[in-house]
Structure 1
Amino acid sequence: MKLQTQRFIDRWVGQVLCGAVSTWVRFTGLWGTPATIDTRAKNILVILLSEMGSIVLAGPMFAALRRQYPHAAIHILQLKKNQEVSKLLSLTQVENMHTLDDSSGGMLVRDILAVSLKMRKLGLDAVIDCELFSRVSALLSFSTGAPVRVGFTPHTQEGLYRGSFINHAIPYNPYQHISKQFLSLVDAMASAGSAPRNKAAPIRAVPVETELSVKFSPTELEAYRAKVQNDHPVTIERPLVLMYAGGGILPERAWPAAHYARVAQGLCAAGFAVGLIGLKDDAQLAKDLKTQVGSDACLDLTGYTKSIRELLMLFHASELLITNDGGPGHFATVTPIQTMVFFGPETGKLYGPLGTRNIVLESGIACSPCLSAYNHRLTFCDGDNQCLKRIAPDPVLDQALAYLQTRTEAASV
């Protein structure tokens, strides 16, 4: 199903359904008390339908849930196309991973009904809706039958109505990193009611680490490095630097291809190999970049890795990743590789990769960031993304070479 179709249905049909559910909950709750949860909870569901990068940013939240509710089975509901990442990161047991197929409207409705029935039979203690202002995820939190429903509220924001049946709600805060806000959802679950009335929540800093890992044996990593060198002999003598120049589903997030070409030229001239990574859809972009770079040390690696796990092994075999905002920059945080990530339509202050091995590159232009939860990530930009075009390539090249030189000197000691 097209993204615009999903947004249309979510906005118009979703608001009507949210209003109906809110009326029902308000009427039936007149004679009840607010639902609560304790540390003996048995089943908790996390709804996380966002892009794959958000799964990594939610790592500290899952770690906090396991510590706070050690006896609970943590269930995850996500889009089918994103499940590979959750399995790789071992966010929970495979049997507790549930999916929605959004390839068509019929498949999506079928899966919503099936998951709702399954969760009701299971008997959830609580559900955490990690989506910001999606009506379908809010409705799902109700349809699962969980008595404690945690999620974000727009408070008085006009046009973002998603009902009033989230009974442990916190205001979305556009000034706090999303990983910190995910942790606030865990805090809200144990509170007596919705925030901001609950003033006793812990003071938290932005998590330093994802608290996620993917285990590779030294033998496995060495075998993959040998495979890369066998497939691309230029990497035997040249350290490998990776570039992800694609914009994914949001092309306005892409740093200009000409800028990438300039940096790749400089890296190749300095004795490095440059690998252009991406999906098969990025193959033409990689071909064009190779032509612009004009060096045998520039490699087309689009489609080279067959899974996220292979991509992480490629990160282990490389020195640096230069990337647009997107999944690769977040996946890299569970490996030793250093990253340089471009932000513009969105900001690293809210969605930057966690950890200390990354550099966020932003221009600070007045209209940046233009994508937010409040506009459903629909930019008012006309396609001329000056926020990224104004990040000049030569300073980026200098910064990359400075890091690579430092790494080379450290390795030789």
Structure 2
Amino acid sequence: MFFGQPAAARPRRILIVLLSEMGSLVLAQPMFADLRKRYPDASLHILMFAKNREVLDLLGVMPPENVITIRDKSLGGFIADCFGALLAMRRIGFDVVIDCELFSRVSSIFSYLSGAPLHVGFHPHTQEGLYRGSFINRPVLYNPYRHLSQQFLTMVAAIGSDTHPKAKAQAAELSAPPLLQFADGELQQVETVLHEDFPVLPGKKLVLVYPGGGILPIRAWPAENYKRLCTELLNDGYVVAVIGLKEDKPLAQEVVAACNHANCIDLTGYTRSVRHLLAIFHRASLLVTNDGGPGQFAALTPLQTLVFFGPETPALYSPLAPNIHCLYAGLSCSPCLTAYNHRKSPCDGDNQCLKQIGIEQVLLQARGLLQAEGRA
């Protein structure tokens, strides 16, 4: 029976399936902590895409030997790693699998084939959503009114819950993730090299901007707005640096060219790792970013950060830290990207939810944070 699986005893081996974006790993930190608290003797494992491994190692929430990765850069590598992952899961013999993906069919297949007797996963109930099979015997109702980190905690509670639906309880209080710790002298060394590479930096405050939209371009504040914002901050006397991956370089060069200022620099592709990026965050005074990885990573640092939301809502996805400030217009059609529509927006590309966040509003908040920040 779909809901008939009895509550689990003390599981010895638990697998978390969390394939998606890097930022979700940061939001999942309360879940990892709760699992360790509830099941201190259990061995925790994770199945994830190889491209996100660096962030997991950075967070330090999982023994390196308990990480199963799948490459997704090529079909051949993906197929080979899928078979390898399934063999590893069957060999380990998990008692519980927690599928943290929002109605993903791929993660559902891995959960089913793992051989674990207990499958925890999101379920749409009578609402729209991708069919995931009836083998999820600890279904958790996806709740679009609760922060994703709280929903991850519900999945942990569902392991031993006897209620219907599972885990009927008050929403847990969420706290900020612990700040990433650096070795003695590490931040100073990164700053020294950064100043050598970009001589305009010494003695000036640094503002970082991330204008890219990543895998969901509809989440991006308009590039023209970023150009105007950067120009205003450059005129205020700040150094402005555009960050991003190598594939973000064309947009970064476009912003730098539009600003036409010696203090506007391109850092896309400059950082060697996420850790290197977060070290640079410590040198900066402000980050302005679209919803995505950089905003979530900033929660691991003290950097004051402005994050644009529109197609998705901060009520569900806001980074959990006091240095994060969300900008959200809250139009009648926003948010339009949900788990129920598999994050496929009905918008025609005219993302007014972001366009209506005006430059003057952003400048006012940015200048306020910069003036309050003590570093010269």
Give me the TM-score of the superposition, normalised by structure 2: 0.95
Relative to its length, the structure with more helix (as a share) is: 1
1:302 matched to 2:268: yes
Q: Which runs of 5+ in 2 are unaligned?
A: none
**Structure 1 residue 327: Cα displacement:** 0.3
SS in structure 2 at match of 1:117? helix
Summarize deviations over 1:166-197 as a string: whole Å, max 9, x none: 1111110011110110011011111136x426
Q: Does 1:36 align with 2:3?
A: no
Which whole-Å CA distance do the structure 2 matches of 1:86 and 1:143 have between them? 24
| 1:319/1:158 CA distance change after superposition, 3 Å | closer
Check 1:389–1:117 CA distance in 2 against 1; reply closer, same or farther (3 A cut): same
1:80-107 alpha-carbon deviations (Å, 9 max, x no partner) = 1111111111121111000122234443
1:58 & 1:322 partners in 2: Cα distance?
23
Distance in 2 (alpha carbons) for counterparts of 1:280 and 1:269? 27
Query: Which of 268, 279, 297 matches 2:245?
Result: 279
Q: 1:147 and 2:114 equivalent?
A: no
Q: Residue 204 of structure 1 aligns with which residue?
A: 172
Q: Percent identity?
A: 50
Hey, what does 2:229 align to over in structure 1?
Answer: 263
CA contact (8 A) 2:5 2:138 kept: no
Aligned equivalent of 1:127, options 97, 107, 122: 97
CA offset digits 1:141-188 (Å, max 9, x no partner): 121111111111110124522112111111100111101100110111
* Whole-angstrom CA distance in 2 between matches of 1:355 and 1:78: 25
Partner of 1:390: 356
SS in 1 for 2:9: coil
Q: Select which of 246, 260, 277 maps to 1:311.
A: 277
* Structure 2 equivalent of residue 368 of structure 1: 334
The alpha-carbon deviation at position 222 of structure 1 amounts to 0.7
Q: Does 1:114 align with 2:84?
A: yes
CA deviations on 1:186-243 (whole Å, 9 max, x unpaired) are 11111136x42653x34413x1212x44320241101111111111121112111100
Take 1:373 and 1:203, find their aligned partners in 2: how far apart are those partners? 20
* C-alpha spacing 1:242/1:198, structure 2 compared with 1 (3 Å): closer
1:67: which partner in 2?
37
Give SS of 1:258's match.
helix
| Cα RMSD after superposing both structures | 1.8
Q: Report how far residue 114 of structure 1 moved.
A: 2.2
Q: Which amino acid aligns with 1:236?
A: P
SS where residue 402 of structure 1 aligns?
A: helix
Deviations 1:329-385 (A, max 9, x none): 001111111110001111111111111111100112222111111111111111111
SS in 2 for 1:225: helix
Residue 185 of structure 2 aligns to a residue whose secondary structure is helix
Deviation at 1:35, TM superposition (A): 4.5
374-383 or 54-63, which deviates more? 374-383
Aligned CA distance change for structure 1 residues 365 and 159 (closer, same or farther; 3 Å): closer
**1:191 counterpart = 2:161:** yes
Residue 201 of structure 2 aligns to a residue whose secondary structure is helix
Kept after mapping to 2: 8 A contact 1:241/1:274: yes
CA contact (8 A) 1:273 1:297 kept: yes
1: CA distance between counterparts of 2:242 and 2:213?
Answer: 13
Contact 1:247-1:254 within 8 A present in 2 as well: yes
Change (3 A) 1:159 1:329: closer
Q: Trace 1:219-368 onto structure 2 (pairs within 5 A).
A: 219-368=185-334
Counterpart residue number, 1:405: 371
Aligned residue number for residue 182 of structure 1: 152
Please, which runs of 5 or more residues in structure 1 have no aligned partner? 1-25
Corresponding residue for residue 12 of structure 1: none
Summarize the alignment of residues 18-97 of structure 1 with structure 2, pairs less than 5 Å apart: 34-39=5-10, 41-97=11-67
Superposition deviation, residue 132 in structure 1: 1.3
- The within-5 A match list for 1:152-163 is 152-158=122-128, 160-163=130-133
Report the AA paired with residue 263 of structure 1. Answer: L
Call closer, same or farther: CA 1:129–1:197 in 2, change over 3 Å.
Answer: closer
Q: CA contact under 8 A between 1:208 and 1:356: conserved in structure 2?
A: no
Match of 1:216, SS? coil
Aligned to 1:215: 181
- Counterpart Cα distance in 2 of 1:385 and 1:64: 37
* CA distance in 2: counterparts of 1:213 and 1:397, whole angstroms: 27
Letter of the 2:175 partner, please give it.
V
Structure 2 letter corresponding to 1:301: L
Structure 1 segments of 4+ aligned residues over 3 angstroms from their partners: 104-107
Which range is displaced more, 239-248 or 293-302?
293-302
The count of aligned residue pairs is 376
